[in-house]
A and B are shown apart, each in its own frame.
Chain A
Amino acid sequence: KNEVEQSPQNLTAQEGEFITINCSYSVGISALHWLQQHPGGGIVSLFMLSSGKKKHGRLIATINIQEKHSSLHITASHPRDSAVYICAVRYNTDKLIFGTGTRLQVFP
């Protein structure tokens, strides 16, 4: 069983919609990362969180340590946001464990 669960697995949206992607993990972590992967493979690190909330442009990431849950929000979605979004957590073993990813398609 994957120690990091993401939902939904696939998501389609119309341009302008508000999008939420969820990530849950099983035990205490020291950090959580949100990554974006476009077709072709390149990965971009969006956020690294250990508590609270971070915002960058139209992207917002939150983490609730007590509930072992993080969300990635995209406001005013755009077709260029179409990508796979991956949650990764760092447990005390220092290894990064990845979720299975959420494939997002935003249509004009």
Chain B
Amino acid sequence: KAGVTQTPRYLIKTRGQQVTLSCSPISGHRSVSWYQQTPGQGLQFLFEYFSETQRNKGNFPGRFSGRQFSNSRSEMNVSTLELGDSALYLCASSFGPLGDTEAFFGQGTRLTVV
């Protein structure tokens, strides 16, 4: 079956702009979680959605938001982009809530803010 699909794979944006990233989970999976990976901070948890509800949120400013649709696809939005938002953004899907079942990761979206 198809894996986790993230679009776009690469993105270049200007400071102050906003961006929306998309994640399509594996069919039947209800949990989607998002992560930011930078060379300095490593992998950090952003948030998790399960059955269209945000279950958990990491320590990120309110400029980072997300949502999940009824088909479990999820979007992540970052407003007023800063240079420090340049990172690899990964999403993962799992059948059950994050941590209870195995997570499958997408290839990521590499965002560059200039």
Contacts and interface: CB of A to CB of B under 8 A. Distances in A.
Interface of A: 30-31, 33, 35, 40-45, 48, 86, 88, 90, 93-101
B110 A94 contact: no
8 contacts: A31-B100, A35-B105, A41-B110, A43-B108, A96-B45, A97-B45, A98-B42, A98-B44
Contacts of A88: 43
Given A41-B90, A42-B108, A95 B103 contact: no
Contacts of B98: 90, 94, 96
Given A33-B103, A41-B110, A45-B103, 5 more contacts: A43-B105, A44-B105, A48-B103, A98-B44, A100-B42
Most buried by B among A35, A43, A45, A100: A43
B42 to A, nearest CB: 5
Contact of B99 (A41, A44, A96, A101): A96
B107 A95 contact: no
A31 B99 contact: yes
A42 B102 contact: no
Interface in B61-114: 88, 90, 92, 97-108, 110
A41 B45 contact: no
A97 B44 CA distance: 7
A86 B105 contact: no
Contact of B102 (A40, A45, A94, A101): A45
Most buried by B among A31, A41, A93, A99: A41
A94 B58 CA distance: 10
B97 A42 contact: no
Contacts of B37: 41
Contact of B90 (A30, A43, A48, A95): A43
A7 to B, nearest CB: 15
Contacts of A93: 56
